Structure 1
Amino acid sequence: MIALAPQWQDALPDALFLAPHAPQRCSMMGTGYQWWGLSGFEPSALAAGAASVAPAINAFIDQKLTQYGLTDSDLALVGFSQGTMMALHVGLRRSQQVAAIVGYSGILTSIADLPLEHPAKPPTLLVHGTADPVVPFKALHSAESELQGIGVPTTTHSSHGLGHSVDPIGIRLGRDFVSGSFANELSA
């Protein structure tokens, strides 16, 4: 996702863009990385996988926030595919609300372990291609329904005919969403 930085920089001139690499090479996508091995989309396996790597991602986030003198309200989490799974998993469970979550071509792993009165309800944008052969398109609507059901303000966009990728419209929508979320934080 670090490739988005030059495309988002004009709208977010003061932003610091950081992108941790998942530690494992992805067997499904030759040049990609994964946080844990996927063998399908069984909900319990997705939830367990996300929970197993969340501490490492939270540690990275905490280290960088401290290093740069920032807080969670200065943080937007953006992910693609399994990165979306992790952005949603981590972003919904931070003790303080992040400014925004943007997820491309991903899936919501689980909200079952969230407390009913969980304070973190960051504005969330989900973008998914209708022709995605990797992560089923129906995951977009399932996530939207579940997130709205717990009070997370959720916006979605369907990229018609797009496979497991991000198109220019999705890039623009993500940039504008994050920029608008930070603007809303400043005016609050």
Structure 2
Amino acid sequence: MNGADLEYVAHGPKSGQAKKLVVLLHGYGRNAKYMDKMALAVCALIPDALVVAPHGPEQLVVPHGIGKHNGDVLHIPQEVLAGNDGNDPAMLRQWFAIDGDLKTLYPRMVNIARVMNEFIDAQRDLLGLSDADVALMGFSQGGGVALFTGFTRGAELGALVGHSCIFFHDPAMTATPQTLMIHGDNDPEFGVAAYLAAFNAVSAYTKGRATHRVVPGLGHYTSTASRAVIADFIRDQLCP
């Protein structure tokens, strides 16, 4: 797949040419519309930003028998397992299949990072912007993809955010943009210790260019509070 061909939902700017670009990646089993509230929070603070949220390139395929006993690293979020949100199954997407150990997941992550970097490049070039004018944020599986994508770019993005996600390190990573890691302390998918370990790894990799925030009472979803923190962070980095 070519990243320039990804379908997406766009928001803003309110008037004139966009001067900033913000890319939002949804979680596993969701689609770009789930990032609407995040997009509106960013637009409210950066009115000259174009905010784009691509749909994951693959239709959701929920694997059977996934679990740590099989050596799987990731697992299916409870809200996806519930399957009671009334959405058309054809509109539920994934960035890549989640069954498998790190060795199995690695080429999938490399491939989707390539696709996302192509997508970002295409959107950036259409607007005539530089990487310093671009922010990338993702939630859950989309957060892991966002971090891997941002850290493997040739130039540093203006801001990078991982919401409720873990970190897949790659020795080939070279970019160290200002990064925010945010999660809730009531998340049933990964415990606080797992998120702290991910942040510590990101902080070590970026040589201290990472910020960590915990939202009290937050589960495995975005909230008004977490979206406000993210929008503030993106504004501060893109519009110093």
TM-score band, normalised by shorter chain? 0.7 to 0.9
Instruction: State how far apart, in whole Å, the 2-side matches of 1:82 and 1:136 are.
Output: 16
CA-atom RMSD in angstroms: 1.9
Instruction: Name the structure where strand makes up a greater proportion of residues.
Output: 2
Cα distance change, pair 141–47 in 1 and its aligned pair in 2 (3 A): farther
Whether 1:33 and 2:85 are equivalent positions in the alignment is no
Gap regions ≥5 residues in structure 1: none
Task: Give the structure 1 partner of residue 135 of structure 2.
Answer: 76
Instruction: State how far apart, in whole Å, the 2-side matches of 1:142 and 1:81 are.
Output: 15
Q: Among all aligned residue pairs of Structure 1 and Structure 2, give the percentage whose two residues are the same amino acid.
A: 32
Larger of the two Rg values belongs to structure: 2
TM (norm. structure 2) is 0.69
Instruction: Deviation per CA, 1:93-138: give whole Å up to 9, x if none.
Output: 1111100011111111123332xxx3x2111111112222234433
Deviation at 1:13, TM superposition (A): 0.9
Instruction: State how far apart, in whole Å, the 2-side matches of 1:89 and 1:129 are.
Output: 21
For 1:137, the aligned partner's letter is: V
Whether 1:6 and 2:40 are equivalent positions in the alignment is yes
Number of paired residues?
179
Gap regions ≥5 residues in structure 2: 1-34, 63-75
TM (norm. structure 1) is 0.86
Instruction: Deviation per CA, 1:136-186: give whole Å up to 9, x if none.
Output: 4333212221122121511111223322101211111000000000123xx
- Highest RCO, 1 vs 2 (Cα 8 Å, sep ≥ 6): 2
Superposition pairs of residues 135-174 of structure 1, within 5 angstroms: 135-150=190-205, 151-174=207-230
Whether 1:177 and 2:233 are equivalent positions in the alignment is yes
